[in-house]
């Protein structure tokens, strides 16, 4: 199928992905999983989860292989690769205009909302990030990589976990410090907010502003918005781009609230993205950004702040609960 793994598409924390071709002529992506320390649990999770999902914004499972220690998952081939290639590559970033970015953001939100409330069971992804958003030939986004997903009853408000994994820079704070709040679907909302931040290049622009470089970047964004100043969202051609950039910024701030109780559901996120900017309120300045509490948060999440620019899948971490 892959002509002896001739065309490698990428390398992730769980294995390598190769381009393949079925006898029917359809192109596929073959994800060959490496050795797992979880006795194949990631593989079972992904097959069990993705096999029951049918949504335009979620990658479609074509098949899988489980022969002795060899494990592979076969998906539809996505010719435009993953979203991180357009966020972290300066040359490719210019080919993704603001209207396309906004369309991708809305459709990813629809996919996550479907996982949370559109199935007969609630699916928490726990690894929403640019690397796991695949783009088809028309730049329609598909959420992929369900190796860390958890299934729970549709009406369950919180999840009890003894071991949680996620990617540095996108992990919700309650997964690092359980005293912040209960673990629920709001963890995916936080990760989506960080995804929006990356799409708007907000943290990168902060690093370029020497006078702002000492601030954790949500503080800088709040200060600018509250002062009525424009947010530096990189290259913009017209006012419509600024409109989209400002909307994405405000929605992202709602999603990355420290307390999960203060974050909106994905249904509400969709309403905010698709509604008028004039009706979109800036969330209150979070308490953790004031005084010593800001410094405390920076220490507690030390792993996530410096690595926001890092697109290396080796930053997938495992967090063990003390509970």
Same domain, 108 and 214: yes
Please give the pLDDT value at position 49.
83
The angle at the Cα of 253, spanning 303 to 198, to the nearest 5 degrees, equals 55
Q: Which of 28, 56, 76 is the last residue of a domain?
A: 76
pLDDT of 219: 64
pLDDT value at position 242?
83
Total domains in the chain come to 2
Question: Catalytic: which of 127, 145, 232, 241?
Answer: 127
Same domain, 20 and 158: no
With contact defined as beta carbons under 8 Å apart, do 263 and 190 qualify? yes
Considering the domain architecture, whether residues 52 and 142 belong to the same structural domain is answered as no
- For residue 127, indicate whether it is catalytic: yes
Measured CA distances, 159 to 40, 142, 239 (Å): 22, 25, 43
Single pTM value for the model:
0.81
61 and 207 part of one domain = no
Domain boundary among 76, 93, 111: 76
Instruction: Find out whether 135 and 142 touch, Cβ atoms under 8 Å.
Output: yes
Higher pLDDT, 238 or 116: 116
Mean pLDDT of the chain: 78
| Residue 279 lies inside a defined structural domain of this protein | yes
**305: in domain:** yes
* pLDDT band per the 50, 70, 90 thresholds, residue 224: low
pLDDT at 269: 98
- pLDDT, tens only, 4-53: 999 999 887 678 999 999 999 999 999 998 776 556 777 887 888 888 88
pLDDT at 225: 65
Instruction: Give the integer Cα–Cα distance in Å for 76 and 74.
Output: 7
pLDDT at 223: 66
Calpha distance 44→64 (Å, rounded): 11
Q: What is the CATH number of the domain that holds 242?
A: 1.10.510.10
Query: Which pLDDT tens digit goes with each residue over 103-146?
Result: 999 999 999 999 999 888 899 999 999 999 999 999 999 999 88
Domain that residue 160 falls in: 84-320
Most confident of 48-57, 123-132, 157-166, 238-247: 123-132
Pure H helices in 88-185: 90-93, 98-117, 173-176
CB within 8 Å of 202: residues ≥ 6 apart: 217, 221, 231, 233, 249, 252
- Domain boundary residue among 24, 48, 76? 76
199-200-204-210 Cα dihedral, nearest 10 degrees: -170
88 with 227, same domain?
A: yes
The least confident of 14-18, 143-147, 214-218, 246-250 is 214-218
Measured CA to CA, the distance from residue 272 to residue 106 in angstroms comes to 10
Secondary structure E strands in the chain: 8-12, 15-21, 27-33, 61-67, 70-76, 122-124, 133-135, 141-143, 150-152, 163-167, 316-320
Q: What is the pLDDT of residues 266-281, one digit of tens each?
A: 999 999 999 999 899 8
Q: What is the pLDDT of residues 182-212, one digit of tens each?
A: 999 999 999 999 999 889 876 554 444 444 4
Mean pLDDT along residues 278-286: 82
């Amino acid at each position: 199928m892959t002509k002896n793994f001739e065309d490698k598409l990428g390398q992730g924390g769980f294995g390598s992905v190769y381009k393949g071709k079925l006898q029917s002529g359809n192109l596929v992506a073959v994800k060959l999983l490496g050795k797992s320390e979880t006795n194949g649990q990631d593989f079972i999770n992904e097959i069990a989860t993705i096999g029951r999902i049918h949504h335009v914004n979620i990658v479609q499972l074509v098949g899988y292989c489980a022969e002795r220690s060899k494990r592979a998952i076969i998906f539809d081939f996505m010719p435009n690769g993953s979203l991180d290639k357009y966020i972290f590559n300066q040359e490719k970033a210019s080919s993704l205009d603001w209207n396309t970015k906004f369309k991708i953001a809305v459709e990813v939100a629809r996919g996550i909302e479907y996982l949370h409330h559109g199935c007969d069971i609630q699916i928490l992804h726990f690894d929403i990030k640019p690397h796991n958003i695949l783009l088809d030939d028309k730049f329609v986004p598909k959420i992929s990589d369900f190796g860390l997903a958890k299934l729970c009853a549709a009406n369950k408000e919180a999840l009890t976990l003894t071991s949680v994994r996620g990617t540095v820079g996108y992990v919700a704070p309650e997964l690092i410090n359980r005293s912040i709040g209960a673990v629920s679907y709001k963890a995916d909302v936080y990760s989506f907010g960080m995804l929006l931040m990356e799409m708007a290049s907000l943290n990168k622009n902060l690093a370029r502003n020497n006078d702002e470089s000492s601030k954790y970047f949500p503080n800088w964004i709040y200060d600018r918005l509250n002062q009525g100043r424009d947010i530096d969202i990189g290259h913009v051609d017209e006012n419509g781009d600024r409109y989209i950039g400002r909307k994405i910024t405000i929605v992202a701030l709602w999603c990355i609230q420290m307390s999960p109780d203060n974050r909106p559901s994905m249904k509400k996120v969709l309403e905010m993205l698709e509604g008028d900017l004039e009706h979109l309120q800036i969330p209150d300045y979070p308490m953790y950004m004031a005084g010593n509490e800001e410094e405390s948060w920076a220490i507690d999440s030390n792993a996530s702040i410096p690595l926001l620019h890092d697109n290396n899948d080796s930053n997938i971490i495992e967090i063990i609960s003390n509970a």
